[in-house]
Chain A
Amino acid sequence: MDWQSLRLSLWLAVATGVVLLPTGVLVGRWLARSTHPLKPIAEATLALPLILPPTVLGYYLLVALGGQSPVGQLYAGLVGHPLAFSFAGLLVASVIFNIPFAWIPTQRAFEAIPADLYDAARSCGLSRWRTLWRIELPLAWRGILSGLIMTVAHTLGEFGVVLMVGGSIPGETKTVAISIYDRVQAFDLQAAGSMSAILLAASLATLLATVWLTRTRPSVRRP
């Protein structure tokens, strides 16, 4: 069992969730209510990681974050080491490939709030901030949480993008999925089996939690 890789994966999953949770609330809420003509394009772009082959996404991220790119050069200038093949680079990649998993359920949760509740909130004198805290978040929390759980589980299991952007540097970019691959290559099937079982259990738990969260939504249901 490669505990270091498992710890790194968990840390990456938590950090990805921390970035995508508040941004998901802001963007998901905006997308849910927006009637902007460019909204379909924004939605399609944000959903791209769902269907794009991980190696293709990984390639573009590598190009975008690598030492020759403006982002990579800026980062190297500020921090002193390249963004690609670092934990920070892996986090950026992880945030990008998890956007649809975190933001789409959040957007759907905000969309499920009946429009007249927004009108009612305004006619009750609630500011936008109070409407978010007192009305929207209590009604949308199941969708937001479901997105967060999906993000964590997906981060734990992602392989292609991680390998392309991070490589396999122990303690820096070698996640549990990469470690499983390494162990199989080294014919250490017992270690690969243990780690696979952990990912299997995490995936199953994620799906069960998502089903539970989305099956009954009494708080949003109109009485």
Chain B
Amino acid sequence: MLNVRLAQRSPIPLDVELQCGPGELLALVGPSGSGKTSVLRAIAGLMPIAEGRVAIHDEVWFDRTLGIDVAAEKRPVGIVFQHYALFPHLSALANVSLALPHGATPDTALRLLSGMQLDGLAARRPHELSGGQRQRVALARALARSPKLLLLDEAFSAVDQPTRQALYDELVKLRERVGIPIVMVTHDLREARLLADRLCILEGGATLQDGPPEYVLSRPRNAHVAALVGLRDIHSGVFHKSSDAESPARLRWGDGEGIDLTTVDKGRIDDGTPVRWVIAGEYVHLHLEPPDGVNVVACVIERAHRLGDITTLACRSIAPPHALVHVEVTTRQAREGGMAAQRAVFLRLDPEGIHIMPTRARGA
């Protein structure tokens, strides 16, 4: 298990605490300048840190209190850099061989390259390889030291989409094979959701929220995290606690006049509190006829935006607060259901999926 706690005020402010278990993939996500890469560099020992602790299993690499700071070259960490950082004057084989521990035979490097589907390319220099091949050489080099931890810094950002997909498959296979903690930096939420077991949302060098991707993306801690994770529909409303044990809690959608929605009272928000709320796509059900059940909202499709196999429908509630809800359907469903602009539809919002957040971040 990797345990990381980093704290400093300057030159790059950091206030991060994270864990990553063996075989687990943790994605650090955040906007540019949020400190993702700095966290990775600090874990690898490539950046000095004022306070904190970095330990894997029972091995401590950094502990300011104990005065431990293992040099980067002595930490068994494999890193794949954003632009791969392959040594341009060396062949693929030499790039990997250079990272092998003392006593390892050149066959080991060849085996690593072969494991990355790079047979026959060992003698090529980086500029003679494609982006995907370079990425694989970088991955082979990162694994050459039999690392206890693998760090990926925007490792998939510089390749085209088909190559990226192939590399995702490689990573999934690699995870099964090596069984070490993997920490990945990405700004691509889709990528993080696809690959990671856990997400850690960073901003200004601080952890805002961490947890499984589906949890963080459907239950952001606050409206700010919701915006950072790319949730488009962040609504406002007023929370009303249930008046008795039988009746559910209510959410008045909108700032004034609005639609009353049934929701779940988790006992954390006081009656009459203005709130922000979101609902994940899987809890929004689209119907062409009025369905049975609670939280049915009559809407009109304002726009239908087709993007390949997926069509996004911008549905505006007919009643106040006339809010927009974006719903994704397959393009085939949209075509067969005649889901185009001006079409009336009904949205059923599952009370379980309504996630209510305080209007201000805690401590803000």
Residues of A within 8 A of B (CB): 114, 116-117, 119-127, 134-135, 138-139, 218-223
Contacts and interface: CB of A to CB of B under 8 A. Distances in A.
A177 B82 CA distance: 53
Given A127-B73, A223-B127, A119 B41 contact: yes
Interface string B60-83: 000000000001111001110111
A120 B72 contact: no
Contacts, number: 72
A223 B141 contact: no
Contacts of A135: 87
Contacts of A121: 87
A121 B41 CA distance: 13
B251 interface: no
Contacts of B145: 124-125
Nearest to A117: B85
Contact of A116 (B85, B128, B129): B85
Nearest to A128: B73
B142 to A, nearest CB: 8
Contact of B73 (A114, A126, A218): A126
Contacts of B85: 114, 116-117, 119-120
A221 B87 CA distance: 10
B98 A124 contact: yes
B46 interface: yes
B136 interface: no
Interface string B104-134: 0000000000000000000001111100001
A173 B85 CA distance: 50
18 contacts: A114-B85, A116-B81, A116-B82, A119-B79, A120-B85, A122-B73, A123-B77, A123-B79, A124-B141, A124-B145, A134-B87, A134-B98, A135-B87, A139-B89, A218-B127, A219-B88, A223-B86, A223-B127
A31 B85 CA distance: 22
Contacts of A114: 83, 85
